[in-house]
Structure 1
Amino acid sequence: MKKSHGPAFRVAQLDLAKCPICRGNAVVKGVFHELACIQCQSSGWVSADTGDAVPLKVLVTQLSIRLQAAEHQVELLSREPLLSGPAALYEHNNRRGAGGTNYTGD
């Protein structure tokens, strides 16, 4: 380890797991109404390693990292063409028909 003092240059992504008590819902069912889960501090997430509640300041950062990664994944998947193979031939104009229209050979 090179650094000996100061904050880390990058925030490390922690392993989070759904709370085993509330199953990620942040509330538990009481007799008459729902109560806030005390195991996870009503967040629905706990540390995967220890099972303890994650401090809210750290949890916000960790969820933001996960959200950014998910948005990046969605962006990459949306760039790819949805159709491939024979179905793709019917979707774009090949300009082989009369007047430059699409010709599929049907």
Structure 2
Amino acid sequence: MKKSHGPAFRKERVELAPCSACRGKAVVKGVFFDLACDNCSASGWVEALTGNALPADELVTQLSLRLQAAERQIQEMRTSRAMGPEGIYQEGNRRGAGGTTYTGD
């Protein structure tokens, strides 16, 4: 069933890109000191397709979605198990003396 009115069920992800004016640093070099970048509203990020700055509330949401995805990826990398012969070698099999791991070495 297609939704016809009201807010969306899920928040749509917007692709972000570093600002081309400040190169993602949120500040540009002035004559004497750094100035807030006007192109990206001093965030360092713009919408990838249009190059326009996002409103602050939308930017916070999009950065949070990216952070959550990155944390999920880090967690998956930490919990990934070794495969093949290495996995068998490191896995505890309780076949050794006193229930220790027997590796055959």
TM-score normalised by the chain length of structure 1 = 0.77
Q: Note the C-alpha offset of 1:87.
A: 6.7
Give the aligned partner of residue 24 of structure 2: 24
SS at match of 1:74: helix
In the TM superposition, what are the counterparts of 1:8-87 in structure 2 within 5 Å?
A: 8-81=8-81
Aligned residue identity for 1:53: A
SS at match of 2:35: strand
Q: How many residues align?
A: 104
Q: Note the C-alpha offset of 1:95.
A: 7.8
- Structure 1 residue runs without a partner (length 5+): none
Percent identity between the two aligned chains? 59
- CA 99–12 in structure 1, closer or farther in 2 if over 3 Å, else same: closer
Q: Note the C-alpha offset of 1:2.
A: 3.8
Q: Note the C-alpha offset of 1:22.
A: 0.2
Over residues 11-50 of structure 1, what are the superposed CA-to-partner deviations in whole Å (9 max), with x where a residue is unaligned? 0000111000000000011111111000000000001111
| RMSD of aligned residue pairs (Cα, Å) | 2.3
Q: How many Å separate the matches in 2 of 1:73 and 1:15?
A: 18
Aligned residue identity for 1:24: G
SS at match of 1:17: strand
- Structure 2 residue runs without a partner (length 5+): none
Runs of 4+ in structure 1 off by over 3 angstroms are 83-106
SS at match of 2:17: strand
